[in-house]
Structures are given as structure tokens and as C-alpha cells.
Amino acid sequence: MKERFSKIFELWNQRNTEYYQEAFKKLEEENKTTFNYAAAFFNVMWLIFRKMYGWAILCTLLYGGIIFSTKMFCKNADVVFVIKATVSTIMILGLGRFGNTLYYKHVKSQVSKGYAEMPEYNPVDPVWSVLYSMLESLLKMVIIPILVFSSLSGEAIKNLSYLFESFIVAIVWAVDYRKFHPQESAEPIAVTEESVNNYLKKSNLTQMIAALCALIFISLMYVATTHSLKVLGKKVLNQLDAMSEKKGLKSRIDDEMRKKLNEIDELNKRILEKKKSGKVDESLEKDKEALVAKWAKLAKYAKKKNSQKVPKKTANHPR
């Protein structure tokens, strides 16, 4: 398995090197650049993969800042969507068009500092580029559920995620800088075609395998967590529906009990009027007894269903 993956990696590394050799040659000789589809469609992830951490942070903060400012000053959802789509399109086309130019300047800078000669240095960062690709989803699954009960709104949390992503990239950049900066050449090294090719071929197989394992693990965790959240969400919705239905039942029972109590009060008034006039109507007494029995039955049912407390008007058994 490892040998097979090693052959696939060697083939990828060879084609990757050939692509950039041709792209850099075209930049040097004709001052023309080719469209980089990887940079266009993976944008920030591609920048991290190529260890252009500064550009990755700039693009993340710039995109987040524009979206935040738009939502602050514009309340029209359609306009916000159009601006968001426009900014995303500009990032895609911009990095696709100028990605090779940015990377060539980065490679020449690294080669002049002696990074092509460092045995442990890897010119790509596959692990953190994969982790970054999952970072937004992880933030939504971890940070947002924690802060959902706080005073922060959903938009504030989303804007916070841009800062958090940039902070993580900055930490990765600082670790890489601290590890290899002391090994930089004191004097600038001449940038030649051979040194550039050596730099491009330095990709590390172990890190590529680690990135692949991380991608598989995070994908499985993402699927499992998403499924768990869906199941939990259904349970919560079912409980809310049951509570709503129970609340409606309580309201109907209380209304019916008040209605019966009012009818009993009316009968009591009529019975008292009859007694004052010296007449006794047994049918009214029977009707009252029937209503009291119905009220008691409703009160017993309400107690059985854990209904809300009977209002003060209906708290006492009617007489």
C-alpha cells in the first residue's frame, strides 16, 4: 500500500514540478502567466498548501471584512448576496490569474534564503491546508453551539470565525518561521533554474500521507457529528412539539373549567332567587350537581396530565 502511494506521490510531484517549471519559464521569458485552477478553486487552502501564509491571512481578513461591512451598512439580503458573490468571484479569478506570479516570487524569495538546501524543509504544507479546509465546519460544530446561549448573534459568531481562522494560520506561520529562520543563509543565494527545481521537488511523502489520513479522519468525524446533530435536533424538535401540544391542551382544559365554573355560578344565582321567592326547583339542583361532577372530572384529568395550576378562580371546588 505504501509503495503504491509512493508511486502515486512521485507521479504527482513530477507533474506538479513540470507544471510550475513551465509556468515560471513563461513568466521569465514572455512575462506571461497561465491560469492556475488549483489556486482559483482552493484559494486560501492553496495559499496555505504553498506556505504563503501572509497572503492566506490577508485574503481571509479581506473577505471577512468586506462581508461584515456590507452587512453592517446594507440590510437588503439580495444586495448582500450579490456583493458576496462578486467578492468570491473576484477572489477566484484573481488568484487563478495571479497565483503563479505570487508563487514564483515566493519561491525565489525562499530559494535566496537557502530553503532549497535545508534537508528537513518541506515547501508545501499539506496537513494544515487540509485542516483549514475543515476549520469553518469545525467552528460551526464546536464554537457556535457553545456560544449559542451567549449574547453574541449568529453574524457576530460568523465574523469571529474569520478572525479565528486567521489566528490559527498566523500560529502555523510563526511555528514554521521559528523552526527554519535560524537555518536561513546569511548571504543571499543566487536563484537559478536548478535551485528552483530543487525547491519544487522537496515535497515530503510522510506529510502527504499524514494529510491524507487527517482528511479521511476529519471527514468521518464531520459526517458522524453532522448525523449526531441531526438526530439531536429531531429529538429537540419533537420535545418542543410535545410541549407545545401539552401547553395547548392545558389551555383548553382551563378554558373548559372556567366555562363550567361560570355556568355553576349562574345556576347558584338562579337557585338563590328561587329560594327567596319561596320556590324550590329540583331540576336546577340536579343541573348544578352534573356541572360540579364535570368540573371535578376535568380537574382530575388536568392533574393527571400535569396541567398548569388551576387559576385562583377555579382553585376551590365549586359548591
Q: pLDDT tens digit string along 59-92?
A: 999 998 888 888 888 878 888 889 889 999 999 9
Rg of the chain's alpha carbons, rounded to an integer?
36
Amino acid code (one letter) for 164:
F
Q: What angle do CA 280, 285, 289 make, to 5 degrees?
A: 170
Could you give the maximum distance between any two Cα atoms of the chain, in Å? Answer: 125
Question: For position 310, what pLDDT does the model report?
Answer: 45
**Average pLDDT in the chain:** 77
124 vs 304, more confident: 124
Where do runs of H (alpha helix) occur along 113-204? 126-147, 154-180, 193-200
Cα 26 to Cα 149: distance, rounded to the nearest angstrom: 55
* C-alpha cell recorded at residue 155: 453574524
Position 23 pLDDT exceeds 80: yes
Position 302 pLDDT exceeds 70: no
Burial-class residue 303 by CB neighbours within 10 Å (0-12, 13-18, 19+).
exposed
* C-alpha cell recorded at residue 279: 320556590
Cα 251 to Cα 174: distance, rounded to the nearest angstrom: 62
CA separation (Å) from 105 to 24, 99, 109, 194?
Answer: 10, 10, 6, 16
Query: Taking the domains of the chain in order of start, what are their residue ranges?
Result: 2-203, 242-315
CA-based end-to-end distance of the chain: 87
The answer to whether the CB of 17 falls within 8 A of the CB of 200 is: yes
* pLDDT, tens only, 217-245: 766 776 776 677 677 767 776 776 666 66
Task: Name the pTM for this structure.
Answer: 0.65
Cα 125 to Cα 208: distance, rounded to the nearest angstrom: 9
124 backbone φψ class: left, alpha, beta (φ>0; ψ -120 to 50): beta
Question: For position 312, what pLDDT does the model report?
Answer: 46
* C-alpha cell recorded at residue 26: 513563461
* C-alpha cell recorded at residue 20: 510550475
pLDDT band at residue 203 using 50, 70 and 90 as cut-offs: confident
Nearest in space to 129 (alpha carbons), one of 216, 64, 219, 50: 50
Question: For position 37, what pLDDT does the model report?
Answer: 92
Question: For position 102, what pLDDT does the model report?
Answer: 94
Contacts for 69 with CB less than 8 Å, ≥ 6 apart: none
